[in-house]
Amino acid sequence: MAPSNLPVAVASAIASSDVKHSQELYQSNMSLDQITKHAAKHGYSRIMQRDFISCAVCSTSPALWQNLIDNGLDLNAHESQVSGDLLSSAIIFKSRGNKYDFAKWLLEQGHRPTPIDSGHEPSAIIWTICVETADMEMLSLLMDYGHDLEECEVGVAAADEGNLEALRLLLDRGVNIEDRDLSWYPFTWKDEPYESLGAALYRACRQGNVDCVELLLERGADALAADLEGKSCLDIAKRRGHEDIVWLLESRGNVAWSFGGFVKRLLYVFF
């Protein structure tokens, strides 16, 4: 007999571990709790994959997942090409509800603190930094549980986005200030095909994020650093017309002044 509120055909497909047929029959109004209990009863197998994992994460129900854990589910063995692993899904799908408590619960249950991300979106930690999806509480949570900051692009992203709070937290936690791997950013200027591959200070200078430039210089960022094409922080600041940043680089970054640049700065300040 099928569990309450679960169609017989679905229950039968789950019992036989027929993932494809289960997905074909699944409807959004079906009880995920009943599905997981039925899957666990029959040995779990591969039923909670693809569509089911996304729906289950969006439900943010620890009770639902606890049932699977109690029946042998390894949280760290579960991932999807579309949404990554469970923690990544919980963070990226935060627009569907507050996922902080669920993310924390996953970490408390032993989920890896550095999520395995999908190949279709920026990484989960980048998601917490970008202006439109910024979530300092979630970023702090990942830091507290030991997210790996090596080669994860976060410092560059925070500088580019102008997220000063995130940048300060990341610097305090030891992010590599000269990391420059940021391949997911789009190349917006056709005549600068490698401009994204500059360190955090370069990106802040390019974007005109003065506060981030000041912080990075205070923390020892190399004011003479260049992108892969050899364009320096000063070059890109001048090219984009960020006079205040040009002044910072020249006065605090030990960049050589020109007489013309000095006169131009005086005119900028006083007029």
The pLDDT of residue 129 is: 92
What's the pLDDT score for residue 263? Answer: 47
pLDDT band at 163 (very low <50, low <70, confident <90, very high): very high
Length of the chain: 271
pLDDT digits (tens, 9 = 90+) for 62-120: 777 777 677 677 888 877 776 788 898 888 875 445 688 889 999 999 999 999 887 66
Which value, in Å, is the radius of gyration of the alpha carbons in the chain?
Answer: 24
Averaged pLDDT of the chain: 76
Q: What is the pLDDT of residue 218?
A: 94
Backbone angles phi, psi at 122, to 5 degrees: -55, 160
Share of residues in the chain with pLDDT > 70 (%) = 61
Q: Is 256 left (phi over 0), alpha (psi -120 to 50) or beta?
A: beta
Give the chain as a 3 state SS string: CCCCCCCHHHHHHHHCCCHHHHHHHCCCCCCHHHHHHHHHHCCCCCCCCCHHHHHHHHHCCHHHHHHHHHCCCCHHHCEECCCEEHHHHHHHHHHHCCCHHHHHHHHHCCCCCCCCCCCCCCCHHHHCCCHHHCCHHHHHHHHHCCCCCCCCCHHHHHHHHCCHHHHHHHHHCCCCCCCCCCCCCCCCCCCCCCCCCCCHHHHHHHHCCHHHHHHHHHCCCCCCCECCCCCEHHHHHHHCCCHHHHHHHHHHCCCCCCHHHHHHHHHHHHC
Residue 39 pLDDT: 64
- Terminal C-alpha separation, the chain: 83
Residue 54: predicted pLDDT: 57
Which pLDDT band, with edges at 50, 70 and 90, does 204 fall under?
Answer: very high
**pLDDT tens per residue, range 22-67:** 666 666 566 655 666 666 565 544 455 445 555 566 666 677 777 7
What's the pLDDT at 4? Answer: 55
Share of the chain above pLDDT 90, in %: 32
- Answer whether residue 166 shows pLDDT above 50: yes
pTM, two decimal places: 0.74
d(Cα 200, Cα 181) in Å, to the nearest integer? 10
